[in-house]
Chains A and B, each alone.
Chain A
Amino acid sequence: MADFLYQLLLTFDATLRIAAPLILCAMAGIFAERSGVIDISLEGKMLTGAFVAAAVAALSGSPWLGLICAIFASIFMSLVHGFACITHKGNQVISGVAINILASGLTVVIGIALFRRGGQTPTLGRDERFKPLDWIGTETLDAVPLLGVIYRQLISGHNVLVYLALLAVPLTAFIIYRTRFGLRMRAVGEVPEAVDSAGVSVTWLRYRALIIGGVFCGIAGAYLSVAQGGNFVREMSAGKGYIALAAVIFGNWRPLRAFMACLMFGFLEAATSRLQGVDLPLIGEVPTQLMLALPYVLTVLLLAGFIGRPSPPAAIGQPYHK
Chain B
Amino acid sequence: MSGPTPPLPRWADLFLLPVINLMAALFVCGLVVLAIGENPIEALGVMLKGAFVYSGGLGYTLYYTTNFVFTGLAVATAFHAMLFNIGGEGQAYIGGLGAALAAFAIGAAPGIVALPVAIAGAALAGACWGVIPGYLQAKRGSHIVITTIMFNFIAASIMVWLLVGPMLEPGQQSPQSVPLPEGSYLPKMHEMLGAIGVETAATPLNASFLLALVSLAVFWVLIWRTRLGYNIRAVGQNPQAAHYAGINVPRTIIIAMAIAGGFAGLLATNEILGISHRVILNYTAGYGFTGIAVALMGRNHPVGIFLASLLFGALYQGGAELDFEFQSITREMVLMIQGMIILFSGALAYMFNPPLARFIARISAPKREVAHG
Does a CB–CB distance below 8 Å link A and B in the complex? yes
List B333-352 residues whose CB lies under 8 Å from chain A: 333-340, 342-343, 346-351
A319 to chain B, nearest CB (A): 11
Residue contact B342 to A305, C-beta cutoff 8 Å? no
List A223-250 residues whose CB lies under 8 Å from chain B: 234, 239, 242, 245-246, 249
Residue contact A88 to B350, C-beta cutoff 8 Å? yes
Residue contact B145 to A93, C-beta cutoff 8 Å? yes
A94 touching B333 in the complex, CB below 8 Å, given contacts A289-B164, A304-B142: no
A296 touching B338 in the complex, CB below 8 Å, given contacts A40-B149, A93-B84: no
**Binary contact readout B179-215 vs A (1 if CB under 8 angstroms, 0 otherwise):** 0000000000000000000000000000000000000
Task: Report Cα–Cα, A116/B145, bound state, in Å.
Answer: 36
A58 to chain B, nearest CB (A): 17
B20 to chain A, nearest CB (A): 14
B69 to chain A, nearest CB (A): 19
List A27-69 residues whose CB lies under 8 Å from chain B: 38, 40
Residue contact A90 to B346, C-beta cutoff 8 Å? yes
B146 within 8 A of A: yes
Task: Report Cα–Cα, A290/B136, bound state, in Å.
Answer: 21
Chain B residues positioned under 8 Å from A99 (CB to CB):
339, 343
Say which one of A101-109, A137-145, A204-212 lies at the interface with B: A101-109
A94 touching B37 in the complex, CB below 8 Å, given contacts A112-B332, A303-B147, A304-B136: no
A303 touching B342 in the complex, CB below 8 Å, given contacts A105-B337, A109-B333, A297-B154: no
Residue contact B140 to A305, C-beta cutoff 8 Å? yes
Q: What is the interface of chain B mostly: helix, strand, loop, or mixed?
A: helix
Chain A residues positioned under 8 Å from B136 (CB to CB):
300, 303-304
**Binary contact readout A168-199 vs B (1 if CB under 8 angstroms, 0 otherwise):** 00000000000000000000000000000000
A85 within 8 A of B: yes
Contact pick for B346, options A98, A109, A287, A300, CB 8 Å:
A98
Q: Assign chain A's interface to a size class.
A: 35 or more
Residue contact B154 to A106, C-beta cutoff 8 Å? no
B275 within 8 A of A: no
A116 touching B332 in the complex, CB below 8 Å, given contacts A105-B337, A296-B150, A300-B150: no
B327 within 8 A of A: yes
A289 touching B160 in the complex, CB below 8 Å, given contacts A95-B346, A105-B336, A109-B32: yes
Task: Report Cα–Cα, A97/B149, bound state, in Å.
Answer: 11
Task: Report Cα–Cα, A300/B155, bound state, in Å.
Answer: 13
A292 within 8 A of B: yes
Task: Report Cα–Cα, A305/B142, bound state, in Å.
Answer: 8
Task: Report Cα–Cα, A112/B350, bound state, in Å.
Answer: 33
A299 within 8 A of B: yes
Contact pick for A105, options B141, B143, B339, B350, CB 8 Å:
B339
Residue contact A116 to B86, C-beta cutoff 8 Å? no
A245 touching B146 in the complex, CB below 8 Å, given contacts A109-B333, A293-B158: yes
Task: Report Cα–Cα, A91/B350, bound state, in Å.
Answer: 10
A26 to chain B, nearest CB (A): 14
A249 to chain B, nearest CB (A): 7
Contact pick for A103, options B36, B140, B329, B339, CB 8 Å:
B339
List 12 contacting pairs A-B, 8 Å CB cutoff, sorted by A: A85-B347, A88-B350, A90-B348, A98-B346, A112-B328, A112-B330, A113-B329, A289-B158, A297-B154, A300-B136, A303-B146, A312-B143
Please name 4 further chain A to chain B contacts, defined as beta carbons within 8 Å, in addition to the given A101-B293, A289-B157, sorted by A numbering: A94-B296, A103-B339, A287-B165, A300-B150
